[in-house]
Chain A
């Protein structure tokens, strides 16, 4: 005979097991996101960083969160730490809210919200400024629950003291201090002491701002610690929903605790948590592919960069730029780049946060094109805005190292050595082609050229360099820009510097096309493969026949992609360009 209590237990443990498996699965498929999280999380050694954070409410938990975020370098370790904290939240939450049996499963909901908050960021991961984000909310919630547990173990008459303690902890706990006091107030029927607690609650932020945070904006003191997603150009309130729900559910648990002793509560909570996380989670193949490509590019593993790119169907600008960098290092950019594809696709970005190649891949790109001053500037500006996280410290060190500024390198390396996974980190030697490109770069004064097209326009100016690498890049980028004037200048220089070498396939394709487009210019006469010439004629014949057949402009590129998608002509006529 299966007893009723056994059914309850089975439902509870089955629900828990299913949720745990789900949480582990979600963390597993977000390993690249977690690695990127460590790279974009600022935690600096020295008292200065600590005091900077402590000068704002909730700074202590941001500091703790920042420290723990370092362990996301190894996403498995970081995931285990998160799961451990959430496990403790489950146990301590049960005690704090005095939940028993099936009712304890309701703690799966705040855990689901905290899990969701890690995987719903999308491209905000590159641009948000909340320090210690990845752990601070979970840790602070856990400590708040511990406090609530202890408070509820004390006699009722002590509650007033706990209100004062709770609100006194506002500088450390931020909004969790308020949540603690609300939860404690709601545990019993209101008395005069509860009313005092409520009054204190209303004025908490004002009091603390007046006492400690007069140099901080009021909006940053009110509900301090509740993550806000704001940049100079964007604001997203949806991403704050999981945290609001943590608060709301905690309050509801206190209010409705006695109604939760139902055998179906675990099932409902597990399913609700899973549905919520799946609904809010950001998932996009390019999003993670960009992260993997960046990681490989940073480690100069260019073969891996190409492999990841090959898997992609509709690459983004960051992926295309990293792929071309990889081809520069692996060789064959003028034979392979257009075959692999230079057609740009927008990022899947439902939040419309202004994130582009600049934030995602330009730190590595500028360095590898030998643009060390630009690289240094861009990395520093990104660091200034979002924090000096490992990715910026590494790239700043590499740019300074390449520039021969060893004292600067020393400063950033010292900061990196405070990170548990970067204790022995040193900037990699500067690759020969990177040095060669840098030396091709004439000094000039530029404006605030923080645009996606800047790197492309700059490199296409190198057509008079004596470097073979630079001449190849100049020719390639003139083709990428579809700039016939620079193409001819670059080609002439390229041919002079690459005497006796094979004329690369894409350069031949571009040569035929530009020659054909403006024969009167009679720029140069170069031998071209008969196959390429025939294919070029076939390209135009096919295009003409498709137009005559009445096919729409949108359908024609799709129809021609299989046969001609890897040619320069297809790119020139149909592809969405990086920039001109």
Chain B
């Protein structure tokens, strides 16, 4: 049925487009003043590396500051084309595809002119490097308000990143029958980037985990007498029908004047493993003194990585967490896993963040198993709310902890300075299925609204991040929601919202 909706909406969009505008191929200004600066385009696509199959990188000059914008794209074969309508540069998909086809493993030169107070300025040209490594065609994310206790319009959406098609996987309204309590949908996860085995979680009214197992939808309650909650942060085993979860008693509180505004923390958290075929929940780890969170499987399923807090100083242990939250820090650990016996080995310290006065969250192992990426901040487990939150990447070697170096050895940390922002939260890192593209959700821009950013990753080298392109670049400004917990997918979720809603109580 979603297809019908798309046809309907697209037809409307086409009619509106025809009514309002045509694709503009304007002339390049005959006279202009040269500027040595790069154009202040939004989003910033200057000198980025992109996959050849990405949607057109539409951009704009700041409205109000400029009256018009013209951009000339020159492909490696010398073909030139100009675009510009008002201050926006919006490239038709067919023309963009042709440009990409000509530019694989090469670069497109982009010249931008901006008109200000009747005068044209020619900015310093930049390049867009086109990698021949494709990006996974789909990404899913939760669209949520950057607010705290109101969430009635929450949805999990999927986007085809090779064009601009966005559709709902599930929304919060259709099954929210208890208006007083409300319903919160979150933490979606897929097995091996595919959607025939996937899940998402529902809290408050209709609390449950919605699991799709080989295309069959079921609604299960993972709360057991011996667990502190139902499953929260999930990770599918790459080959087995088992899912690791953390179980959490999560709370949030609000800063009265700190720019971070909000703090999310756990009072308790453990780890469980759910066997779909036997509907069994196993305790993986439940240290009563410490907090275990964010399990993630290695690429081959032989290790379970996770974060675990370090003990608080003795004098702080009985204090309210609202006074000690800045001392809660997590290290990265792993345990080997034997799938035949469903048994775990001993715990190994993978990365000692606390010794650096840092805290690790959300680890993700690269598909080739060579690297591990995670979000790191000074404290806590929710760095998307911390302006110092950054993504960190380390090669996975034989020696643990991974950051341990002998004297004279170079730092093992991968340089992610082109991927991270300065002074804004970067979190939810993930790898594309081919390991060539990394993605994060970042509040760069204004510190409030998170958007998705991608970087090219090859042999430990990372290129400048670029924002998920939108058909209208202003959508990034006008959409008052955050992109939360993004996940790469190689195929779309084909189950409709209505089909998902059938497993909920009427």
Contact = CB atoms under 8 A, between A and B. Distances in A.
Interface string A89-122: 0000000000000000000000000000000000
Interface stretch (B127-135, B173-181, B185-193): B173-181
B226 interface: no
A175 B358 CA distance: 58
A445 B149 contact: no
Contact of B256 (A371, A382, A400, A448): A371
A376 interface: yes
Nearest to A408: B446
A54 B12 contact: yes
Interface string A359-380: 0000000000001111011001
B261 A377 contact: yes
Contacts of A444: 255-256, 322
B267 interface: no
Contacts of B13: 47, 51
Interface residues on B, range: 35 or more
A316 B381 CA distance: 43
A47 B180 CA distance: 32
Contacts of A403: 259
A411 interface: yes
A410 B257 CA distance: 21
A171 B12 CA distance: 12
Interface in B471-506: 472, 474-475, 477-480, 496-498
Contacts of A376: 261
A215 B446 contact: no
A411 B145 CA distance: 15
A229 to B, nearest CB: 13
Given A377-B261, A380-B147, A450-B149, A48 B475 contact: yes
Given A210-B1, A407-B445, A411-B449, A445 B263 contact: yes
B145 A380 contact: yes
A442 B448 CA distance: 22
Given A45-B478, A211-B1, A215-B168, A443 B174 contact: no
Interface stretch (B2-10, B215-223, B228-236, B292-300): B2-10
Given A214-B498, A372-B257, A46 B478 contact: yes
A441 B478 contact: no
A446 B480 contact: no
Contacts of B66: none
Nearest to A444: B256
Contact of A414 (B472, B477, B496): B477
B259 A374 contact: no
Contacts of B150: 380-382, 384-385
Contacts of A481: none
Contact of A373 (B16, B152, B255, B322): B255
Interface residues of A, number: 56
Given A384-B150, A445-B325, A415 B257 contact: no
B152 A385 contact: yes
B194 to A, nearest CB: 23
B2 A445 contact: no
Interface in B436-495: 445-449, 472, 474-475, 477-480
B472 A47 contact: yes
B258 interface: yes
Interface in B45-93: 63
A493 B173 CA distance: 51
Contacts of A350: none
B448 A405 contact: yes
A368 B326 CA distance: 30
Contacts of A210: 1
A373 to B, nearest CB: 5
A23 interface: no
A206 interface: no
B478 A48 contact: yes
Contacts of B258: 373, 443
B124 interface: no
A384 B145 contact: yes
A107 to B, nearest CB: 33
A231 interface: yes
A187 B182 CA distance: 46
A388 interface: yes
Contacts of A371: 256
A34 B255 CA distance: 36
Contacts of B12: 54
Contacts of A381: 145, 147-150
A215 B9 CA distance: 14
Interface string A39-66: 0000011111101001100000000000
A47 B479 CA distance: 10
Contacts of A44: 478
Nearest to A458: B256
B317 interface: no
B253 interface: yes
B296 to A, nearest CB: 29
A398 interface: no
A371 B255 CA distance: 11
B254 interface: yes
A214 B475 contact: no
B447 A407 contact: yes
Contact of B2 (A214, A217, A438, A448): A214
A403 B257 CA distance: 9
A407 B145 CA distance: 17
Contacts of B152: 232, 384-385
Contacts of B322: 444-445
A214 B496 contact: yes
A545 interface: no
A548 B8 CA distance: 80
Interface string B1-38: 11011001100110010000000000000000000000
Interface-central residue, B168, B174, B256, by most chain A CB under 10 Å: B256
A47 B259 CA distance: 31
A373 B9 contact: no
Interface in A400-429: 400, 403, 405, 407-408, 410-411, 414-415
Contacts of B427: none
A411 B449 CA distance: 10
B171 interface: yes
A289 to B, nearest CB: 28
A215 B496 contact: yes
A108 B179 CA distance: 38
A270 to B, nearest CB: 41
Interface string B114-138: 0000000000000000000000000
B303 interface: no
A212 interface: yes
Nearest to B180: A232
A233 interface: yes
A54 B445 CA distance: 29
A422 to B, nearest CB: 14
A158 B1 CA distance: 31
Interface-central residue, B152, B474, B480, by most chain A CB under 10 Å: B480
A385 B480 CA distance: 13
A418 B480 CA distance: 15
A216 interface: yes
B371 interface: no
A11 interface: no
Nearest to A210: B1
A407 B171 contact: no
Nearest to A438: B257
Given A371-B256, A380-B146, A49 B478 contact: yes
Given A213-B5, A214-B498, 17 more contacts: A46-B478, A48-B479, A214-B496, A215-B168, A373-B254, A373-B256, A373-B258, A380-B146, A381-B145, A408-B447, A441-B257, A442-B257, A445-B325, A446-B254, A447-B253, A448-B148, A450-B149
5 contacts: A212-B5, A215-B168, A215-B496, A384-B153, A458-B256
Interface of B: 1-2, 4-5, 8-9, 12-13, 16, 63, 145-153, 168, 171, 173-174, 179-180, 182, 253-259, 261, 263, 322, 325, 445-449, 472, 474-475, 477-480, 496-498
